[in-house]
Structure 1
Amino acid sequence: MAPQYAPSLRSRLAPLLLILQTEFIIILLIIVHLLDLMTQGFCCLPEFQDVNVMMILGFGFLCTFPVRYGFSGSGFNLLVAIIATQWALILNGIDSWYNTKIIRIDLKSIVKAELCAVSALISIGSVLGKTNPVQLTLIALLEVTGFALNEWLLQTLLKVQPPNSIMLLHVFGALFGLMLTWILYRDGSKQGFEKEKFDKKSGLFSMLGAVFLWMFWPSFNSVLVGDDQTRLEAVCTTYLSLAVSAVTAAALAVLSSPRGKFNPIQMQSCIFAGGAAVGVSVSVVQQPWEAMALGFTAAILSTLGYRYLKTHLLIAFECHDTCSVLSTHGLPGLLGWLAQLVLQIKYCDDHTVAVRFAVYHICTLFITVSLSLSMGIITAFLLKWTFWRPQQNKKCFDDQAFWEFPNLVVRK
């Protein structure tokens, strides 16, 4: 019997990427001005490097746990990251272009664009192994557009500060991804895909990605906050929250395992739950015990969500969340939002101001959730079009569907 190959993407992927990159170059040629970076010094360079490591190595290696999807997990992550960052640079500069007809780029604007791109990296984790590069490119463009729109609405209508609006990327990305995996559900997901498994080697690379994320998460949370003192406080609170969440996740992983052993995929998904939670509330978390309590609670939510919620979503709602982004980013992000509400009210002496802030804060979440769900649904229905040539179920989680391996070529 002749081997079954995945459909070729030559007529879809190559034109799409070349057209996009040409358009980006033309836009940057016409309306972008590069600021004199020497006037900034190198104050943003360490944070820029840290965020780059998180995006490329952290999320890239994290997606390599399927035993036959290592090349695609890391390679497609890089593709989505750089496309989403370039598009976010343009979208974030629209306000400046409207006033001055010029978009100005510096290290800080690039870092901000990378943070917007992270929301897309979170979402593609929910459909990891079940989408092709054309679909992932469209996800990157549409999600960054939705996230930039959400950021603009929050800052324009509710006067939310940029760090607070951008750090809702965990909630936005998780819910966007949840809509994708719900609408793009594939028959056979409940029985499990043949190649959706991990071995010792792929699990090691994936754990390496989790370690990179854990190490550089303090820079990720502090890169956009105010002065140096506030930035140092954010680094300290993030580290404490990460430390507690890692220890708590390890304990709960053993307790929830039938054999009393660590599950590497569960561990890598839960050890940085505290970082996601404190990132959303970093502007109000001031005391060490607050950060540690937040990390403790986030790890509990993330671990229980991975162990029970992921299976429940698959069986009851037909949502096959490959990387469990809802438990890894969504639930900790919602916890961080709640912590910010509680702590802000705690520090407020005027009851009237506290009530107003509560209403304002609830509206912030309502806009973010509504826009992420609606954009996720629109994107998913667009991706269902067979024009994008999705792979068959038997080619899901398989590098051979997209990568050329000379030693595996069928010789006639």
Structure 2
Amino acid sequence: MAPQYAPSLRARVAPLLFALQIGFIVIFAFYTEIDSKNVHVTNFSHFYSDFQDVNVMVILGFGFLCTFLVRYGFSASAFNLLVAVMATQWALILNGIESWYYSGKVRLDLKSLVVAEICAASALVSIGAVLGKTNPVQLVLISLLEVSGFVLNQQILSIFIKVKPLNSIMMLHIFGTFFGLMLTWTLYRKGSEYQYEKEKFDRKMGLFSMLGTLFLWMFWPSFNSILVENKIRAVCSTYLALAVSAVTAAALSVLSSPKGKLNPIHLQSCILAGGVAVGVSMSVVHQPWEAMTIGFTAAIVSTIGFRYLKSHMQLAFQCHETCAVLSIHGLPGLLGWLVHLLIQIIDCDDYTMATRFAVFHISTLLFTIATSLSMGIITGLIIMWNCWRPPQDKKCFDDQAFWEFPHLIVHK
């Protein structure tokens, strides 16, 4: 009996990618220019190294992180690159609309590239929730719509609530998490409460996934400090938070194991929690012990959430998320937001000012969650159309649905 192959995407992937890329080229040809007038050689060399670090995180870190599935390594890493580059180009255009409005040109420099890549990182967080259950066409559409929602959220927070750019862009973990949860809730497939046949962790692919985690762990201080004025404090705080979260995650992994052994999935997922939490609260963290406490608490919340929350989310809310983005990014992000609120209130002597800040800070979170939830539902409703040819249940988490493997061809 001939095998049941996935439907061909020739008529959808190629036209979509060509149309989008040609459109981007036209926009960049007429409405953008490289701002090289005010670039000093010393500043460029320092900033370029940070840009490289962020680039490594986005491409290698997130790319390898999602290769833990036994038969989805090619797709996880390659589709990550596809989503990242498309989302970055789109974010450059969206972030430059204000400059285009006043000067007629979108001015590009290293800082605008970094901000665009950080916006793309929010899309990579979101697609982790639907990894393996979507095709390249759907992933590209998700990335464009997610980045549009994230940039819109940033602009509204900046214009109407007067949130600082650093604080609004670091909400990417929270925005990306709830966007992804709404995606996987909208695209829920019957029978997902039982694990898919190919949704398995593999030792060999898990090694590549651990490599991605190590890339993210090493370069996360650059990610948190690249847009901060006091870079030394940001780097030290992030490193200490990451170090403490790694130790705490290892201890909790042993405690939660029936046989008292380390769980590689726990370590890959939860040793980054400190970097996420301290990044959201970076502007108010001043002392090393504060960063270490944040890393300790974030690792506990993330590990416990990963151990118990993923299955409950699937059974109670029909949210079948592949990469447990709620535990990796969502819960530590919310913890960082809470720490930011508490420290700011404690440091404020005036009761009236503390109350105003609390209202302001809570409004920021609620608006971000509302925007991400609504954009996630809209995006899910769009990409669930059958015209995009979503992968069949039997072809979920399978590279053969999208890649040519000549040695695996079955001849009729």
The aligned residue for residue 380 of structure 1 is 380
Query: Runs of 4 or more off by more than 3 Å in structure 1?
Result: 37-40
SS of the residue corresponding to residue 187 of structure 1 reads: coil
* Residue of structure 2 equivalent to 1:184: 187
Whole-angstrom distance in 2 between the partners of 1:259 and 1:56 = 36
Q: State which of 87, 103, 121 in structure 1 corresponds to 2:124.
A: 121
- Which structure 2 residues correspond to residues 17-36 of structure 1 after superposition, within 5 A? 17-36=17-36
Distance 1:277 1:399 in 2: 34
Report the equivalent of 2:285: 285
* Aligned partner (choices 29, 39, 55) of residue 52 of structure 1: 55
Counterpart for residue 346 of structure 1: 346
Q: Distance in 2 between matches of 1:232 and 1:112?
A: 20
Match of 2:159 among 156, 163, 168: 156
The aligned amino acid for 1:404 is E
Task: Measure how far apart 1:98 and its partner are.
Answer: 1.1
Alignment pair present for 1:98 and 2:132: no
- Residue 92 of structure 2 aligns to a residue whose secondary structure is helix
Aligned counterparts of 1:333 and 1:31: Cα–Cα separation in 2: 36
SS class of match (2:93): helix
| Equivalent in the alignment of 2:146 | 143
Paired with 1:329 and 1:175, the residues of 2 have a C-alpha distance of 10
Query: How far off its partner does 1:317 sit?
Result: 1.2
* Counterparts of 1:262 and 1:92, CA distance in 2: 43
**1:62 match:** 65
1:221 alignment partner in structure 2 = 224
How big is the shift at 1:383? 1.1
Distance (Å, rounded) in 2 between the aligned partners of 1:382 and 1:260: 45
- The residue matched to 2:107 in structure 1 has which SS? strand
* CA distance in structure 2 between the aligned counterparts of 1:75 and 1:302, rounded to whole angstroms: 27
In the alignment, does 2:211 pair up with 1:208? Answer: yes
Q: Secondary structure at the match of 2:44?
A: coil
Corresponding residue number in structure 2 for 1:310: 310
C-alpha deviations, 1:187-228, integer Å up to 9, x for none? Answer: 2211110001122101100011001000000000001112xx
In structure 2, C-alpha distance between the alignment counterparts of 1:21 and 1:43, rounded to whole Å? 31
Deviations 1:6-40, CA, capped at 9 Å, x for gaps: 01111011100000001111111111010117435
CA distance in 1, matches of 2:34, 2:156: 27
Q: CA deviation at 1:340?
A: 0.5
User: Which amino acid counterpart does residue 50 of structure 2 have in structure 1?
Assistant: E
**TM-score, length basis structure 1:** 0.98
Corresponding residue of 1:325: 325
The residue type paired with residue 76 of structure 1 is: F
1:258 is matched with 258
**Alignment map for 1:358-377 (pairs within 5 Å):** 358-377=358-377
**Once the two structures are superposed, what CA deviation does each residue of 1:286-308 show, in whole Å capped at 9, x if it has no partner?**
01111011111111110011000
> Match for 1:275: what amino acid?
G
In structure 2, how many angstroms separate the alpha carbons of the residues matched to 1:57 and 1:108? Answer: 20
Give the Cα–Cα distance (whole angstroms) in 2 for the partners of residues 245 and 177 of structure 1. 24
Q: Which residue of 2 aligns with 1:194?
A: 197
Q: CA deviation at 1:408?
A: 1.2
Cα distance between partner residues in 1 of 2:106 and 2:390 = 37
Question: Is the partner of 1:322 in helix, strand or coil?
Answer: coil
CA distance in 1, matches of 2:228, 2:255: 37
SS state at 1:329 partner: helix
TM superposition shift of 1:361: 0.5
Backbone CA RMSD of aligned residues: 0.9
Look up the match of 1:172.
175
Q: Which moved more, 1:375-384 or 1:184-193?
A: 184-193
**1:7 maps onto 2:10 in alignment:** no
TM-score (structure 2 length as normaliser): 0.98
The CA deviation at 1:321 is 1.1
1:43 Cα offset (Å): 2.4
SS for the counterpart of 1:259 is coil
Structure 2: how far apart are the matches of 1:41 and 1:88? 22
1:81 aligns with 2:64: no
- The one-letter code sitting in structure 2 at the alignment partner of 1:81 is A
Taking the aligned partners of 1:49 and 1:43, their CA distance within structure 2 comes to 10
Matched letter for residue 321 of structure 1: E
1:124 and 1:224 mapped to 2: Cα distance?
A: 25
Q: List per-residue Cα deviations over 1:327-364 (Å, max 9, x = no partner).
A: 10000000000100111111111111111111110110
Q: CA offsets per residue over residues 107-165 of structure 1, 9 Å max, x none? A: 01000000000000001000011000000000000000000000001110111111110
Separation (CA, whole Å) in 2 of partners of 1:158 and 1:224: 20
The SS at the match of 1:33 is: strand
Q: CA deviation at 1:41?
A: 2.6
Residue 110 (1) aligns with residue 119 (2):
no
Aligned-pair identity (%) = 68
Structure 2: which amino acid aligns with 1:68? R
Counterpart CA distance in 2 for 1:242 and 1:41 is 28
Stretches of structure 1 lacking an aligned partner (at least 5 in a row): none
Structure 2 residue matching 1:79: 3-state secondary structure = helix
Please give the alpha-carbon distance, in whole angstroms, between the structure 1 residues aligned to 2:28 and 2:363: 35
State the 1:370 CA deviation. 0.3
